[in-house]
Amino acid sequence: MPNSHDFRLKNYFLQKSCIFQKKAVPLQSFLAKYMTTSHMERRVRVRFAPSPTGALHIGGVRTALYNYLFARQHGGDMLLRIEDTDSTRFVPGAEEYILEALDWLGIGIDEGLRIKKSEIINHKSEIINHKSEIESIGSHGPYRQSERREIYHTYVKQLLDSGHAYIAFDTPEELEAKRAEIPNFQYDARTRLQMRNSLTMSAEEVRELLANGEKYVVRFKVEPNEDVHVHDLIRGEVVINSNILDDKVLYKSADDLPTYHLANIVDDHLMEISHVIRGEEWLPSAPLHVLLYRAFGWQDTMPEFAHLPLLLKPDGNGKLSKRDGDRLGFPVFPLEFHNQKDGTVSSGYRESGYLPEAVINFLALLGWHGSGDQEMYTMDELIKDFSLDRVSKSGAKFDYEKGKWFNHQYLQLRSNEELAEMFLPVLEEQLKIKNEKLKIDMQTVAKIVGLVKDRVNFVPELWEQVNFFFVAPTEYDDKSLKKRWKEDSPRHMQELLAVLDTVSEEDWSKCEQITNDQSQITNLWHLDKVVMPWIAEKEYGVGIVMNAFRICLVGAARGPHIWAITDILGKAETLRRVRTAIERINS
């Protein structure tokens, strides 16, 4: 049964009245509300307009970032609009995922949809939890295309009234037959008069089809053999002849929604978008969009275009895909994504241990270069230095190893206390697996993290570096034993126990810092003053004794400075571990 909206479209032909007559918003009211100024006077307004069809690809994140940097640099506005006109591809939870990802990365939204955070306070005025919800902010909404149907109806009517669009009734079977009949078939000026549409049918035939509830689409009428000029801020002047353009579908009666092309143009105009910064894959659509702006009479306020280069596979040719990440072991999504449609889980940068500032810095330099040789950028520095004229025309290889490097650099900039807080969930989970509990305070955890943070790229990697501080070794690495545990090691360790036992608790962790002639600071531990003279007196090799000692404490030939380890473990635990190792290794 045809819906009420179909009925209104039928009235256009049956009564020669307006399409969507009862539902359409008057054009004059739209013009009054959304009147724009010239390009010279316009405020910079950009938009990021993803579709909620799954996880946000890292290439999309870069597009959002470049829009954000451009807007901030020019004191303009960053809008977030959800383009959900393709209802068949909608994935539940995708919209929330997109907004959460941008929020995590610090890409702020001035208008449109964004995450609103609030705190849950208990009766003692203490913050006991945080909650997030989606809010819509701004005067150009709604910001979901599925909620803008009435707006689009008005502009479908305008194109039909002006003769820039027509209605087509061709079925999928008819279109398939025509493709089989005509090689490289395209629905355009050369073929449209062979098809079932309002250009080839009488008003009576159209009335009958509409009255019977026939499904239809509205197509844009592209005039043949016209050079369409697109000025691109990155690529310069792009000229495409209209003969290669087909009559794109702008509206589908099946779901009462416009296609991307119509909705995109109408929304950008009404939301007063000054610059459209988007991926290179949309460049072939730009001539059609220019023609649509002209058809609506909006050419004077048409936004400027900038089409960004693709992110390419790390190896080989082609666009970066999820499959590349799975194959080479890196994420291609900002956050872990749980697909509610098929139950699949895809890894994310956040859950893999990346810091948001590292991801931002890494992405910014994929396809853009700064004004100098600087590699490390804060967000404020990026905003200051960003320029579209330094965006490359060619695609950027996705160097995921460089992403690790950036994360390592930013980890070093975090305080030990911050990293300890980030490491705490990993630590607690690992201790739970081993049926252990955290027995030290966070100040000590921070001290431990500070000893090894220069050895890791990601916070979760800290566990492998520091696990022996929290769980005493019960097994000893075979490779280390074969190389470092000598025949005399048990006797050396027994003697070392006696030497260490003479050190008081007060002196155990004493350490003084000495600055040499090159202003380099070194630590001189009290235990060094006790143990090294004993080794020299006995004429033992320092490496032979200390390597065996390390195996006793750590379980392997690894870890930070030996006295930093004994400082954290304390005297009693250090001696206990040495005794245990002597007993277990020799048994």
Rounded Cα distance, 19 and 9, in Å = 5
Residues in a beta bridge with 513:
523
- The token pair that represents 216 in the structure block: 């239809």
Predicted confidence (pLDDT) per residue in 394-407, tens digit: 999 999 999 999 99
- The token pair that represents 271 in the structure block: 């939301």
Range(s) within the chain of domains with CATH label 1.10.1160.10: 312-413
- The token pair that represents 156 in the structure block: 């479908």
Rounded Cα distance, 421 and 427, in Å = 10
Q: In 3D, which of 30, 27, 49, 35 has the Cα closest to residue 275?
A: 49
Residue with tokens 């994504």: 337
- What CA–CA distances, in Å, run from 412 to 273, 419, 450, 513? 40, 9, 9, 22
Range(s) within the chain of domains with CATH label 1.10.8: 415-467
**DSSP H or E run through 576:** helix 562-586
Neighbour count for residue 415 (Cβ, 10 Å) = 11
**pLDDT at residue 33, as a whole number:** 42
- The token pair that represents 65 in the structure block: 């970032």
Q: In 3D, which of 332, 309, 321 has the Cα closest to residue 58?
A: 332
Residue with tokens 């009404």: 270
**pLDDT at residue 88, as a whole number:** 83
Task: Name the CATH topology of 472-587.
Answer: Arc Repressor Mutant, subunit A (1.10.10)
Rounded Cα distance, 453 and 302, in Å = 51
Reduced DSSP (H G I as helix, E B as strand, rest coil) percent helix, strand, coil of the chain, to 5:
50, 15, 35
**pLDDT at residue 132, as a whole number:** 76
| Three-class secondary structure of residue 98 per DSSP | helix
**pLDDT at residue 227, as a whole number:** 97
**pLDDT at residue 131, as a whole number:** 61
**pLDDT at residue 117, as a whole number:** 74
- Amino acid letter, 328: L
Conformation bin of residue 265: beta by default, left when phi > 0, alpha when psi is -120 to 50: alpha
User: Looking at domain 415-467, which CATH architecture does it have?
Assistant: Orthogonal Bundle (1.10)
Return the DSSP state at 193.
Answer: G
- The token pair that represents 300 in the structure block: 């004077």
CATH 1.10.1160.10 fits 312-413, yes or no: yes
- The token pair that represents 358 in the structure block: 């590292």
Is 322 catalytic? The answer is yes
Q: In 3D, which of 327, 253, 255, 259 has the Cα closest to residue 292?
A: 259
Give pTM, 2 decimals: 0.86
Q: Which entry of 10, 322, 404, 453 is annotated as an active-site residue?
A: 322
Q: In 3D, which of 81, 78, 77 has the Cα closest to residue 43?
A: 77
Rg over CA atoms, the chain: 33
Predicted confidence (pLDDT) per residue in 253-288, tens digit: 998 889 999 999 999 999 999 999 999 999 999 999
**pLDDT at residue 557, as a whole number:** 96
Instruction: Note the helical H segments in 36-148.
Output: 58-73, 94-105
CA–chain centroid gap for 2, Å, is 42
- Amino acid letter, 347: S
| Three-class secondary structure of residue 523 per DSSP | strand
Range(s) within the chain of domains with CATH label 1.10.10.350: 472-587
CA–chain centroid gap for 228, Å, is 34
What are phi and psi for residue 420, nearest 5 degrees? -65, -40
**pLDDT at residue 42, as a whole number:** 87
Per-residue pLDDT of the chain (587 residues; tens, 9 = 90+): 344 444 344 444 344 333 343 344 444 443 344 444 445 578 999 999 999 999 999 999 999 999 999 999 999 999 999 999 887 888 999 999 999 999 999 999 999 999 887 555 555 555 544 567 899 999 999 999 999 999 999 999 999 999 999 999 999 999 999 999 999 999 999 999 999 999 999 999 988 998 999 999 999 999 999 999 999 999 999 999 999 999 999 999 998 889 999 999 999 999 999 999 999 999 999 999 999 999 999 999 999 999 999 999 999 889 999 999 999 999 999 999 998 888 889 999 999 999 999 999 999 999 999 999 999 999 999 999 999 999 999 999 999 999 999 999 999 999 999 999 999 999 999 999 989 989 899 999 999 999 999 999 999 999 999 999 999 999 999 999 999 999 999 999 999 999 999 999 999 999 998 877 777 778 889 999 999 999 999 999 999 999 999 999 999 999 999 999 999 999 999 999 999 999 999 77
